[in-house]
Amino acid sequence: MAEVSAQRQHAFRVLMRRHMPRALRVAERIVRDPAEADDIGQEAFMRVWTHAASFDPEVAKFTTWLYRIVLNLTFDRTRRRTFLPLEDAGDVPDMGPHAVERLIADEELSLLNRAMAGLSDRQRGAIALFHMEGLSGEEAANAMNLSAKAFESLLGRARTALKANVQKIQETGSYA
């Protein structure tokens, strides 16, 4: 990061290669739209470049800082958005050797996406950081700029709502 602060593009390219998938993954989990997630990931790294000098490694890890930028951009966009993206269409079936495993994974992902649609952006963010990215409660709270207690409450509500949505989808075949 010190080299990125000194505006060295080579170091910035290495940083993006290492962390861009992380930014896209978290953004996509929250906005549920790959194209919009790509925009957010790009904008997040533009901010990393322009604000690199303000990053203090003694205050936070780079990943925590990056998550915070991505979440802020994501919440800003979803606040402005006046429509919801179409639900994910079914993928083209994979005919490769691991097709069955792939199908199960796709079904799980589809179920999860449908259940996640009923959560708020902040609830999706909490789940993405804690469960998908494997951050500790403290790290996730820090990335979301929340107190540990507030994060615990947010995560608890998110899991309860998600569980209810999953059960509803499994019972009725749709989330309404």
Partner 1 sequence: MTPDQFRRLAETWGGDVERWPAATREAARRFAASAEGAAVLDEQGRLDRLLAVAPEIDEARADRSSLLVLQRLAAVPQQHRPAWYRRLLRWPTLVPAASLACSAIVGVWLAGAMPYVHSASDPLSVMSGVFDVYSIGLGSVQ
Q: Which residues bind partner 1 (CB under 8 A)?
A: 9, 13, 16-17, 20-21, 24-25, 28-29, 34, 37-38, 41-42, 45-46, 49, 105, 108-109, 111-112, 127, 131-132, 134, 136-137, 148, 152, 155-156, 159-160, 162-163, 166
Amino acid type, 74: T
Residue with smaller CB distance to partner 1, 46 or 84: 46
Residue with smaller CB distance to partner 1, 10 or 82: 10
Give me the least distance between CB of 131 and partner 1, in Å please: 4
In this structure, are residues 123 and 157 in contact, taking their beta carbons and an 8 Å threshold?
yes
Amino acid type, 61: K
> Which SS3 state, helix, strand or coil, does residue 79 take?
helix
- DSSP string computed for 5-31: HTT-HHHHHHHHHHHHHHHHHHHHHHH
Give me the least distance between CB of 156 and partner 1, in Å please: 4
Give me the least distance between CB of 13 and partner 1, in Å please: 7
Residue with smaller CB distance to partner 1, 145 or 167: 167
Give me the least distance between CB of 58 and partner 1, in Å please: 22
Give the separation between CA 94 and CA 103, rounded to whole angstroms. Answer: 8
Angle, vertex CA 127, rays to CA 56 and CA 140, nearest 5 = 20
